[in-house]
Amino acid sequence: MIGLRIIDLTQVIEHEMSIFPIDPQPVIFPWTTIEAHGFATNALFMVEHTGTHVDAPSHFIKHARSIDAVDLETFQGSAVVLDLANFGENAMIKAVDIKKAEEKNGIGKGDIVLIRTDWDKFWRKDIYLKSNPGLSADAAQYLKKKQVKLVGIDTPNIDHPTASKFPVHNILLAKNIPIIENLTNLGSIEKSRFEFIAMPLKIKQGTGSPVRAIAVV
Ligand SMILES: [Zn+2]
């Protein structure tokens, strides 16, 4: 269609990528080759939460919805970016900061909210996994109260690195608000409101899935 442009917000899946030490580096290896079999395929080994991915409620909440049971409407819709790019190393993003960032583009019920910290500039560096800015519990409570349908962030973890009990994951996922992590390129979206799409794979009882996240502007 005339005038529509797709902005890719997704990190590349490859062996040398940022992944928490508890998870394996993804392995992508040739399975068949054109020379031997007439057609080429690769086999993949990785956890569901590799690269740009979405967390299903069942990632933290027992008996909650798995990724194949979440309505697809959740992963597509009207989105806003909240500019929190001045929150750097180990910064805590509080409800008051979300409210301030929201003044430019108010959050409404059913919105998709993407939190831009520009932390993705440290992708593949040690600091990326250790010292990310993260949301406080009261920031999660605020987004829950706003009845947003999906929250995304350009860090590996929406929680603060010192929050060992993952309050933000627990608050949002208990309310069936999935979380997308490891987004990238949020700074290149100039529109204040746009269409966001990030469809998960239909993994039976999956706790999450890699997604191809895009903004349509
Ligand atoms: Zn995850």
- The alpha carbon of 1 and the centre of ligand 1 are apart by a number of angstroms equal to 34
- The alpha carbon of 55 and the centre of ligand 1 are apart by a number of angstroms equal to 5
- Burial zone of 41 (CB within 10 Å; 0-12 exposed, 13-18 middle, 19+ buried): exposed
- Which of these, 175, 164, 174, 104, lies nearest to 134 by C-alpha position? 164
Q: For the segment 123-173, what is each residue's pLDDT rounded down to a tens digit? A: 999 999 999 999 999 999 999 999 999 999 999 999 999 999 999 999 999
> pTM for the complete prediction?
0.96
Protein residues within 5 Å, CB atom, of ion ligand 1: 49, 55, 208
CA distance 57 to 198: 16
Superfamily of domain 6-216: Putative cyclase (3.50.30.50)
- The alpha carbon of 52 and the centre of ligand 1 are apart by a number of angstroms equal to 9
Domain ranges (residues) in the chain: 6-216
pLDDT (0 to 100) of residue 104 = 81
Which band of pLDDT confidence, cut at 50, 70 and 90, is reported for residue 196?
very high
- The alpha carbon of 32 and the centre of ligand 1 are apart by a number of angstroms equal to 30
- The alpha carbon of 179 and the centre of ligand 1 are apart by a number of angstroms equal to 7
Residue 62's SS3 state is: coil
Instruction: Return all residues near 174 (Cβ < 8 A) that are at least 6 apart.
Output: 57, 60, 61, 64
- The alpha carbon of 201 and the centre of ligand 1 are apart by a number of angstroms equal to 14
CA distance 182 to 176: 20
